Chains A and B, each alone.
Chain A
């Protein structure tokens, strides 16, 4: 491969292949669909996990980039609620369990079980299903 033209072609092929490899891995990864990458084992989406931690830690700012856009009034009301909740320590998270999920096309669903203790000392245990698409949580119920 002493011919400069052939060397340029080979170099170009190498760069293109590296991009293709990265792309293939990326499209199978969390940043695209929310599920695990080819090398991830759990199947849990980093986006879904970050969203759940933001909810439990009552920190709306930490999840603002990974959920659908809200109006300024909605965001202000949410911050008010989070501040009140934090200062009164009304809720104590007990557990966060990733139950499982699945991916269909660009959408992935991730289901969690949350254990909480209320200010009255009552333990609550409930599920939350998150739909992730395009790097954001698009549905939470």
Chain B
């Protein structure tokens, strides 16, 4: 019983030591923008991506943006999940960020992040 107690105390001690030793990110001297809700039009685009719905996507984006989206998703060719991680706005320009997981052509699991640019209720770019 005493050995088991020491084991538990040891685990807790290790976690606490790591928590003390592991400091968070260094302070940024730059101001942060306020987060906003996901823009509706960006949500529609990512929903089409997640549902593998090429027809809907073709109606939501022009060919240039589709090429940019293809580049942003590389090397993923088979999307398994999409996740909205946040959005920010500056002077009417919105950035809506996503993380996508999926498989490469070789079947390897991969994760990429990309951002949809939104202005005037339209997706105007992909980064």
Give chain A's interface residues, CB within 8 Å of chain B: 1, 6, 9-11, 13-26, 29-31, 36-40, 42, 44-46, 48-50, 52-53, 56, 93-102, 104-105, 107-111, 113, 115, 123, 125-127, 129-131, 141
Q: Quick one: given A17-B7, A17-B14, are A46 and B25 in contact (CB under 8 Å)?
A: yes
B33 near A95: Cβ-Cβ < 8 Å: yes
Q: Quick one: given A39-B19, A102-B111, are A125 and B30 in contact (CB under 8 Å)?
A: no
**What are 14 residue pairs bridging A and B, where the CB atoms are less than 8 Å apart in the complex?**
A19-B10, A21-B14, A23-B14, A44-B24, A56-B30, A96-B32, A97-B88, A99-B35, A101-B113, A111-B86, A113-B33, A125-B90, A129-B112, A130-B113
Q: CB-nearest residue of chain A relative to B90? A: A125
A45 near B90: Cβ-Cβ < 8 Å: no
Instruction: Verify if B51 is at the interface (C-beta below 8 Å from A).
Output: no
CA gap between A58 and B16 in the complex, in Å: 36
Give chain B's interface residues, CB within 8 Å of chain A: 2-3, 6-19, 22-26, 28-33, 35, 72, 83, 85-88, 90-91, 93, 95, 97, 99, 101, 109-115, 127
Residues of A within 8 Å of B31, CB to CB, are 94-96
A9 near B3: Cβ-Cβ < 8 Å: yes
Residues of A within 8 Å of B88, CB to CB, are 97, 99, 113
A107 near B111: Cβ-Cβ < 8 Å: yes
B28 to nearest A CB, angstroms?
Answer: 5
A50 near B25: Cβ-Cβ < 8 Å: yes
Given contacts A10-B2, A39-B22, 12 further A-B contacts (CB under 8 A): A6-B3, A13-B7, A13-B10, A17-B9, A20-B11, A21-B12, A26-B18, A30-B22, A44-B24, A101-B99, A102-B111, A129-B115
B32 near A18: Cβ-Cβ < 8 Å: no
Residues of B within 8 Å of A102, CB to CB, are 83, 85, 99, 111, 113
Q: CB-nearest residue of chain A relative to B2? A: A1
B93 to nearest A CB, angstroms?
Answer: 5
